Chain A
């Protein structure tokens, strides 16, 4: 092990330690300590072991040195893993020592999250001395695991990562999976513990083994080949039809699961899923504006509030005033489903009105102006002048229930179906738009506006169309939000709605419909079933925006078309997405003939 590698390992260890201390100071370690994942291992351990693990993993990965890919030797990877672990632990130990020395109450008067409980977690519920020593082997082992992971052959590594991910996910979904298994009359006491609510050790091991086996079997085999009947069978006659049948069955099965979902998971989770639906609509709408047309809209909340307030006014919502309820000066008592087309039309018109004056602005300016529009919309809806129409800061209530005949959509289970229907509609529209003439025009405009214009695309028309369509879909989310609880206050329409929707499509992958679904499920659904995470939602969204943009700008589920049709220009155009390795000479981009 040479000196440079040693220095790198120490640096990695320091970064790992800083990561752990950050999680401790921001309060996440203590907050997540109530949530068991497997046995008595709580989610907080993911935060204590995660930073050193990642640091050691990054150090042990193959790296480019003097223009050549070099994998770290086994001994070096493990040594640096050990050093990372020790240094990280040392930093945490120094932190705990400092807190003891200064006095916990003094520290607490500045850093709110430093509590006796936090110290207890870090010393494994022993007295500080020697308790802090017990932490050392655990952290070192975590870092060693990180260092060892890149040493494993790829065939073993990938199933291990997938299986660990599945175990973690099962542990996180502890409020969702067990009730569903109960509904299906599947014995589940072996899988989940009744005491800690997390997975039992046996359950975790079984889940790990099963996933490992499946991933092991599936790797290097394309699913399409398997369905068609063995490798190379894809080109045989009849194979295409077979694939199509299986796909159809798959879609039908997915549909059936979606329809049965609320009865499987119970009202609480169904309510959460309905909420995911609202944000899914916002994500799909923003995806049209940002993902398809490439116009960064930071004031998307404007359409959310337009949808919500227009619905409330049209369906007979009442104003909250200090004298009691009052009808808005302008309003109707339409059925929700009759009001929806009007709401959508209004939102589309507002989209055009917002879009028209700012069309000539370049991307980043457009973002800031739309942010201004979003805030202005909030001020207007919450203002005292408009309080006879929108209720001012007190908002509106008694918004008429969406109902078909006697079938009300206000209960959790029924609302889920309303949200599902709206989302299916929006996803279908997005999907059809993507490949249509309009979608391709947006694509062209996003990639290069001048070239698009030169090819005869009226950019003004298509930009306005994007604003109108995006606004219309977003207003559906607002309408859904208005009828979901039947009341509105202006506090629900802050800039954070826009940023949440943005985080959803960035995480999932801009321009990708499955990506938006995944993004909404992770960012809205997961905190819904994991209450301790809710306090850190915005913090996580901020981190997601940074990390995804730097490490994986195409998102978790990239747009299929872009990855399938990757040819020369697109590779070049996306070249910035690949991090420039150390020592590599960056290619001058855009100058080549």
Chain B
């Protein structure tokens, strides 16, 4: 554009052809198109599914069943999402490798589970062996989370924001391929004690025996975490650091230690989630961390990243959307096996939340550009 003075002295250069094009509110146009498209797709899909008739009609028991599955899945997501949210709250950084922290716990505990299944210990005392598996998985996940913090993130604490994100992506790829190299690329079947196999029926609604266990364990985990952060001195230090790192350190809080505690908490919760997830879906592999990782991140964003109740709520909402959504949207248009498309739901929710409400349900809107 020219910088010369204009004849009328206002300094406004008459816009050329390109200039006019530039003034189009491209962002608003794209957003409007997106909104209309979304409403049409979602509304149309739901309408067609709910008006299915005859043999294809899906009764309420079917939906209730999906909701139960979704709640169990969502509880696992919530546990992982807490790891993202805690780290984000303290360091303002996305720990992209958290999905792999989850994977390592599941993978190592698999070898114990396998041995217990072979020796019959798993069925003789299922609760004790699950407790041991949880401890193993939590220990491994915590160890990996600590290594990550020490090697990949601590040297870059004062670097521009994108730098630790790039190392986190590197770490995620590295851990995935390391485990593939160590233990082989093929998925392994994760054993489940007989007590927890099969389904329970309450009236017409029947669900996997694992589901209530998962839900209860996750709730206990979240409850303990919340007490820890709200009641203990360390928890208070964490909240202080997340408010303002510099001021907190002036007040005598050891920031390094607080960051380490944060990663430990994230690792512990990911370790719990790992055993629950592996036992529910019955298999582990080196790449199993990617999708739950993204889903949990979505849950954290959905609930409002940085907020602990937000992560719990986001996890449950996402879990239910993932299990109900594909059937609700796609059954009407006769897409075969809609459950396989739950990843699309996750990604779409992630993108849409970040576009329309980056602060999340309970967030402060902070995710918008500073």
Report which A residues bind B (CB closer than 8 A): 22, 25-28, 110-113, 294, 296, 298, 352-353, 356-365, 367-369, 371-373, 375-376, 379, 384-385, 449, 458, 460-461, 464, 499, 502-503, 506, 536, 538-539, 541-546, 549-550, 553, 576-577, 579, 586, 589
Contact = CB atoms under 8 A, between A and B. Distances in A.
Interface in B5-48: 22, 26-27, 29-31, 34
B270 interface: no
B360 to A, nearest CB: 11
Interface of B: 22, 26-27, 29-31, 34, 93-94, 111, 151-152, 155-156, 158-167, 169-178, 181-184, 294, 297, 301, 335-336, 341, 343-344, 347-348, 350-351, 354-355, 358, 367-370
A545 B27 contact: no
B273 to A, nearest CB: 20
A26 B355 contact: no
Nearest to B92: A364
A123 to B, nearest CB: 22
Contact of B181 (A375, A539, A541, A550): A539
Given A25-B182, A113-B181, A538 B173 contact: yes
26 contacts: A110-B111, A111-B182, A111-B183, A356-B26, A357-B355, A361-B367, A364-B93, A365-B358, A367-B94, A367-B162, A368-B297, A371-B294, A372-B348, A372-B350, A375-B343, A379-B347, A539-B174, A542-B176, A545-B169, A545-B171, A545-B173, A546-B170, A549-B170, A576-B156, A577-B159, A586-B158
A546 B26 contact: no
Nearest to B29: A356
B27 A357 contact: yes
A294 B151 CA distance: 25
Contacts of A359: 27
Given A362-B367, A499-B169, A550-B156, A539 B178 contact: yes
Contact of B174 (A296, A506, A542): A542
B169 A112 contact: no
B144 to A, nearest CB: 14
Main secondary structure on B side of the interface with A: helix
Nearest to B333: A385
Contact of B183 (A112, A376, A503): A112
Contacts of A361: 354, 358, 367-369
A546 B152 contact: yes
Given A364-B161, A539-B181, 7 more contacts: A26-B181, A113-B182, A296-B166, A360-B358, A360-B368, A363-B162, A379-B347
Contacts of B350: 368-369, 372
The secondary structure that dominates the A interface is helix
A110 B53 CA distance: 53
A536 B178 CA distance: 9
A357 B351 CA distance: 10
A363 B30 CA distance: 20
A502 B94 contact: no
Given A26-B182, A553-B159, A352 B26 contact: yes
B170 A545 contact: yes
Nearest to B367: A365
A376 B348 contact: yes
Contacts, number: 163
A81 B95 CA distance: 36
Task: Please indicate which of the listed interface residues A27, A362, A384 has the most CB atoms of chain B within 10 Å of its own CB.
Answer: A362
B167 A549 contact: yes
Given A376-B351, A550-B167, A541 B173 contact: yes
A543 B178 CA distance: 10
A536 B165 contact: no
Nearest to B165: A364
Contacts of A502: 166, 169
Given A352-B26, A372-B350, A542-B174, A110 B183 contact: yes
Contacts of A27: 181
A579 to B, nearest CB: 7
Given A298-B169, A368-B297, A553 B163 contact: yes
Contact of B27 (A113, A372, A460): A460
Contacts of B177: 536, 538-539, 542
A480 B84 CA distance: 39
Nearest to B179: A26
A91 B344 CA distance: 47
Central interface residue in A357, A543, A579, by most chain B CB within 10 Å = A357
B190 to A, nearest CB: 15
A460 to B, nearest CB: 7
Nearest to B369: A362
B42 to A, nearest CB: 15
A382 to B, nearest CB: 11
Contacts of A541: 170, 173
Contacts of A538: 173, 176-177
Contacts of B183: 110-112
A525 to B, nearest CB: 20
Contacts of A384: 335-336
Nearest to A549: B167
Contacts of A449: 369
Nearest to A553: B163
Determine which residue in A28, A460, A503, A539 has the highest number of CB atoms from chain B within 10 A of its CB, and name it.
A539
Contacts of A461: 22
B161 A375 contact: no
A165 B165 CA distance: 31
A362 to B, nearest CB: 5
A542 B151 CA distance: 14
